[in-house]
Amino acid sequence: MSPISGCDSSILINSGKNPEKSALAHAGVKGFDVIESAKSRLEVVCQGLISYSDIIALAARDAISLVSRIIAIQLYYSIDK
């Protein structure tokens, strides 16, 4: 069992006997490479300050914002004027 359990970024754990990253429940999850790349770049600038959970939270926030804007634009242009 991994020493880390149940945290927001536990899906990124890729060590131990049953790594979260390869769990059947996570089979469709993609983008690990993007998160790893962001983490590597941030570590150069601010080593040890930014966690995987921080990156995932900010990515989720930005994705929601982007999708909300796309939906708003689609609704705006679908209204008969």
Closest CA to 35 of 57, 15, 16: 57
Is 36 marked within a binding site?
A: no
Is 33 marked within a binding site?
A: no
Question: CA separation (Å) from 62 to 14, 48, 76?
Answer: 26, 23, 21
pLDDT tens for residues 3-55? 545 556 778 777 888 888 888 887 888 888 898 899 999 999 999 998 888 89
Give the pLDDT score at 44.
Answer: 95
Encoded tokens for 21? 């990253």
pLDDT tens for residues 57-75? 899 999 999 999 999 999 9
Is 8 marked within a binding site?
A: yes
Give the pLDDT score at 8.
Answer: 60
